[in-house]
Structure 1
Amino acid sequence: MTYSIVIVDDHLLIAKAVAAIVEGFRDFEVLYEAENGQVLTERFKQPRHVPDIVLLDITMPVMDGFETAAWLKEHHPGVLVMALSVQDDEDALIRMIKHGARGYLHKNVHPTELEKALYTLVNKGMYFPEWATSKVFRTLAEERAEAPATPRLSDREIEFLQFAATELTYREIGEKMFCSPRTVESYRDSLFEKLGLKTRVGLVMYAVKSGLVKL
Structure 2
Amino acid sequence: MWRILLVEDQAIVRQGLKVILEQDKNITVTHEAENGAQAIEILQKFTVDFIMMDVRMPIMNGIEATRYIKKHWPDVKILILTTFNDDEYAVQALKEGANGFLLKTSDSKKLIEAVYSCMQGGMAIHDEVAAKVMPKLLQNARKEEVTVDLTMRELSILKLVGEGKTNKEIADELFLSIGTVKNHMTQILQKTGLRDRTQLAIYAVKHDI
TM-score band, normalised by the shorter chain? 0.7 to 0.9
- Name the CA shift for 1:158/1:138 in 2 (closer, same or farther; >3 Å): same
Which residue is equivalent to 2:120?
123
Q: Distance in 2 between matches of 1:22 and 1:175?
A: 27
Q: Distance in 2 between matches of 1:105 and 1:64?
A: 16
Q: Distance in 2 between matches of 1:126 and 1:175?
A: 16
Partner residue of 2:145 out of 138, 143, 150: 150
TM-score (norm 1): 0.75
Map 1:135-146; keep pairs closer than 5 Å.
135-145=132-142
State the Cα deviation string for residues 55-90 of structure 1 (Å, max 9, x = none).
001111111111110111101010000011335443
State the Cα deviation string for residues 1-37 of structure 1 (Å, max 9, x = none).
x211010111111111111111112211100111111
State the Cα deviation string for residues 95-146 of structure 1 (Å, max 9, x = none).
111122111111121111101111111123321011232234313442432x
Structure 1, unaligned stretches of length 5 or more? Answer: 193-197
Partner residue of 1:104 out of 77, 101, 104: 101
Residue type at the aligned position of 1:176: N
Q: Distance in 1 between matches of 2:180 and 2:133?
A: 25
- Name the CA shift for 1:167/1:74 in 2 (closer, same or farther; >3 Å): farther
Q: Distance in 2 between matches of 1:167 and 1:30?
A: 25
Q: Distance in 2 between matches of 1:209 and 1:175?
A: 22
Give the structure, 1 or 2, with the largest relative contact order (CA under 8 Å, sep 6 or more).
2
TM-score (norm 2): 0.77
Residue type at the aligned position of 1:53: F
SS state at 1:124 partner? coil
Q: Distance in 1 between matches of 2:78 and 2:180?
A: 20
Residue type at the aligned position of 1:74: K
Structure 2, unaligned stretches of length 5 or more? Answer: 169-178
RMSD: 3.1
Q: How many Å apart are 1:185 and its aligned residue?
A: 4.4
- Name the CA shift for 1:152/1:71 in 2 (closer, same or farther; >3 Å): closer
Contact 2:189–2:196 (CA<8 Å) still a contact in 1? no
Q: Distance in 2 between matches of 1:31 and 1:39?
A: 14
57-66 or 83-92, which deviates more: 83-92
1:43 aligns with 2:42: yes
Q: How many Å apart are 1:51 and its aligned residue?
A: 1.1
Q: Distance in 1 between matches of 2:183 and 2:23?
A: 35
Q: Distance in 2 between matches of 1:64 and 1:141?
A: 24
Which residue is equivalent to 1:31?
30
Q: Distance in 1 between matches of 2:65 and 2:83?
A: 17
- Name the CA shift for 1:14/1:205 in 2 (closer, same or farther; >3 Å): same
Map 1:59-208; keep pairs closer than 5 Å.
59-145=56-142, 149-151=144-146, 154-155=150-151, 157-158=154-155, 161=158, 166=166, 176-177=183-184, 184-189=188-193, 200-207=197-204
Count of residue correspondences? 194
Q: How many Å apart are 1:184 and its aligned residue?
A: 4.8
- Name the CA shift for 1:81/1:175 in 2 (closer, same or farther; >3 Å): closer
Contact 2:21–2:29 (CA<8 Å) still a contact in 1? yes
Q: Distance in 2 between matches of 1:117 and 1:210?
A: 26
